[in-house]
Amino acid sequence: MTHRLDLCYSIERLRQRARRRLPRPVFDFFDGGAEDERTLEANAAAFAGVQLAPHILRDVSRVELSGALVGGPSGLPLAIGPTGAVGFGWRGGDVMLARAAAAAGVPYALSTSATASIEEIAEQAPGRLWFQAYILQDKNRLHELIARADAAGYEALVITADLPVGGKRERDLAHGLAFPMKITPRNFFQFACKPAWSLDMALRRPPAMPSLAGLNAVASDRKAMRSVAGRNYDPAFDLAALARLRDRWRGKLIVKGIVHNEDVEPLVRLGADALVVSNHGGRQLDGGIATLWALPEVVAAAAGRVPVLLDGGVRRGSDIYKALALGAAGVLTGRATLYGVLAGGEAGAAKALAILRDELARTMQLCGTPSLDAIDAGVLRLPRPFPPYGPYAPRQAAARVPELMEEN
């Protein structure tokens, strides 16, 4: 296993290894997006559209990658973002991701739809822990989960605000994906092609999602064009309901799913401690703006009052660098570290973090910026107009996003 991971020198290599070891329906669940997957592709393409103009003749013999992130220390300017159902891709994968995060000194966000419990993560992987709460229709269950996260010492509550209804994930519809996963005559061949995964699931039973235990099982419904996502979630959840949750939670509140600058002010007033620019990795609304293009306006609206993180499309250390240069305090890794654990368990998750660390450090050296504080928009060359589509061009300067952005 170690030798095979040694050949995975990029996140894409980890992705390809994960694809080779998983049945197609399982890999597509993790890898896919909504409808035509244009937003999924746009997240990554946005980074490719931003160029770097390095400084030279600066002392970069040492670079410092650690700093503060959402009020605490972090070995890298990133947190491992919440990803659901990881144990279906690698048994025990949620704990392995959390352990890799703790070893790297970065925060880890546990998903409501994880295959590990709140208490198991706290016991097995002590570190900076965040709990991500989906807004369940069953409010008693939601409040119970939040109380358990508080009792287990989680420092932050992450509210995913961009999932009032599930997206139309056509890969899941094509496979008839269900949770718990089932091998049927229609998908038997795809699972039979991956006997190691299938035998493990058959002999040891599929993992459970303990935070969702007892809720309605869900399956893709091709006739109704409904995939598995979001079927137990509350589309009536609004700002007033979020304020009530803020009153229940004593720790930090992180709101994830912002792409529009007009949504920032109400969240800051409500008492959010951090915001995450996210479009759910392109898994819900297709045709939504790429998060990198949405980032500067959200940063400008936040005006330094709360840190703004970016989620979506991060596959390289240089992507982290570009997000920081456009004003992000850090990034969430979703698929990047997920591909790592799907490719090689805990060692794979650690490998993904090592790849991002190495690439970020190398980019900082090659751009003449030896510290995170030295990274700003002056080293970027942006497409004209910026962004290359939509009504989101920055209208005001923000910290670390100077007026020269409009001139580049």
Please provide residue 276's backbone torsions phi and psi, each rounded to the nearest 5 degrees. -120, 115
- Distance (Å, whole) CA 175 – CA 147: 36
Region 166-173: what's the mean pLDDT? 88
Q: At what angle do helices 335-366 and 24-31 cross, to 10 degrees?
A: 50
- 217 falls in which pLDDT band (50, 70, 90)? low
Q: What percent of the chain has pLDDT over 90?
A: 75
Q: How confident is the model at residue 289 (pLDDT cuts 50, 70, 90)?
A: very high
Asked whether the predicted pLDDT for residue 39 surpasses 70, the reply is yes
Per residue in 342-385, pLDDT (tens digit) is: 999 999 999 999 999 999 999 999 999 999 999 999 999 998 87
- pLDDT of 142 reads 94
At residue 290, does pLDDT exceed 70?
Answer: yes
Instruction: Encode 342-361: b = buried (16+ Cβ within 10 Å), e = exposed.
Output: bbbbbbbbbbbbebbbebbb
Instruction: Quickly state the pLDDT bin for 230 (edges 50, 70, 90).
Output: low
Q: What is the mean pLDDT of residues 204-231?
A: 67
Catalytic hit among 55, 143, 260, 280: 280
Mean pLDDT of the 254-261 span: 97
The number of beta carbons lying within 10 Å of the beta carbon of residue 259 is: 21
Dist. CA 225–CA 173, nearest whole Å: 7
345 Cβ partners below 8 Å, 6+ apart? Answer: 1, 90, 92, 93, 96
Task: Please report the DSSP string for 26-92 in residue order.
Answer: HHHHHH--STT-HHHHHHHHHHHT-EE----S---SS-B--EEETTEEESSSEEEPP-S-GGGTSTT
List the alpha helices (DSSP H) in 79-125. Answer: 93-104, 118-124
Angle of the 239-248 helix axis to the 139-151 helix axis, nearest 10: 40
| pLDDT for 277 beyond 90 | yes
Question: Which of the given ranges, 176-180, 190-194, 404-408, has the highest pLDDT on average?
Answer: 190-194
Q: Quickly tell me which residue has 């591909």 as its tokens.
A: 339
Task: Report the pLDDT value the prediction gives residue 175, as an integer from 0 to 100.
Answer: 83
Lowest mean pLDDT among 90-94, 137-141, 273-277, 298-302: 137-141
Cα Rg of the chain, angstroms:
20
- The pLDDT-based confidence of 395 (bands split at 50, 70, 90) is very low
Summarize the confidence of residues 255-277 as an average pLDDT: 98
Mean pLDDT of 270-299: 96
C-alpha span between 180 and 89 (Å, rounded): 13
Nearest to 252 by CA among 307, 211, 299: 307
Q: Could you count the other beta carbons within 10 Å of the beta carbon of residue 215?
A: 14
pLDDT at 332: 98
Report the SS3 class of residue 400.
coil
Q: Averaged over 69-89, what is the pLDDT?
A: 97
**With bands split at pLDDT 50, 70 and 90, how would you rate the model's confidence at 102?**
very high
Whether pLDDT at 177 is above 90: no
The chain-wide mean pLDDT, for the chain, equals 90
pTM for this model (two decimals): 0.91
With bands split at pLDDT 50, 70 and 90, how would you rate the model's confidence at 53?
Answer: very high
Note the pLDDT of residue 405.
Answer: 41
Amino acid at 334: G
3-state secondary structure of 325: helix
Q: For the residues 230-241, what does the mean pLDDT come to?
A: 85
Extract the tokens encoding 116: 């590990």
Task: Give residue 393's pLDDT band: very low, low, confident or very high (50, 70, 90).
Answer: very low
Give the DSSP letter string of 14-25.
HHHHHHHHS-HH
Number of H helices, E strands in the chain: 15, 14
pLDDT for 303 beyond 60: yes
For residue 179, what pLDDT is reported?
A: 66
3-state secondary structure of 200: helix
> Does 394 have pLDDT greater than 60?
no
pLDDT at site 222: 46
Is 280 noted as a catalytic residue in this protein? yes
Instruction: Please tell me the distance from the alpha carbon of residue 356 to that of residue 14, in angstroms, as a whole number.
Output: 12
Helix (H) or strand (E) holding 352: helix 335-366
Q: pLDDT at position 2, please?
A: 65
Q: What is the pLDDT of residue 407?
A: 43
pLDDT at residue 406 above 60? no
